[in-house]
Amino acid sequence: MNENELEKLIKSAKSGNQVAYNALLEYFWNDVYAFQLKRLQNEFEAEEITIQTFSKAFDKLHTYNSEYKFKTWLITISKNIHIDTTRVKTLDTTSVHKMTTKAIADESLDAENQLILEQNLQSLLQHLKRLKPSYEEVIRLRFFKEMSYKEIAEQLDEPLNNVKVKLLRAKKLLAESIKSSSEL
């Protein structure tokens, strides 16, 4: 793809053209994925960060400065997501250890914990129903039916990359819905 074609594609994506988004995703997916795979040595984590990269890039496409190479911009976003993910994992490991220690120390709350778990599931389902049907469907297929990305793509008759970005977007919207209701 030459610079003029890329510039037109980015401009079209900025105006909301989904075909342009898909073309950018298809064209740059391997570059971002290979970058992360080299860093992480883990296909699953590299794929997750690549999905997050494109989701964030598409959300922030209006901030892209054409004085810089688009690929460089994507790789920078990807690198920053990896750094943030590493920080969160470090914090989560500490939190999980503390929660596990507390759970072992107080096993008398099993019935209460079960009730809380059921209430949380009900709340999650209510938030899920607030999403657009297409987002609700990918969440249900991935997390409730435990289907792979490939199986979801086949069932929905959509390209694999679209399913990946749609799922990431759905998870982000679901998290925002949960967060906004907890702030009330």
Question: Residues 103-149: pLDDT tens digits?
Answer: 444 444 456 556 565 666 777 788 888 888 888 899 889 888 888 88
Same domain, 4 and 81: yes
How would you class 99 by CB atoms within 10 Å of its CB: exposed for 0-12, middle for 13-18, buried for 19 or more? exposed
**Residues 139, 170 contacting (CB under 8 angstroms):** yes
Print the domain residue range for 88.
1-105
Q: Which residues of 32-66 are buried (b: 16+ CB within 10 A; e: fewer)?
A: bbebbbeebeeeebbbbbbbbbbbbbbeebeebee
Same domain, 13 and 66: yes
Mean pLDDT, residues 155-168 taken together? 84
Mean pLDDT, residues 158-171 taken together? 82
| pLDDT value of residue 32 | 95
End position of a domain, from candidates 70, 89, 105: 105
Same domain, 81 and 97: yes
Q: How many domains does the chain have?
A: 2
Average pLDDT score over the chain: 82
Q: Cα separation of 84 and 132, whole Å?
A: 28
Amino acid letter, 4: N
Same domain, 132 and 87: no
Give the Cβ contact number of residue 143 at 10 Å: 15
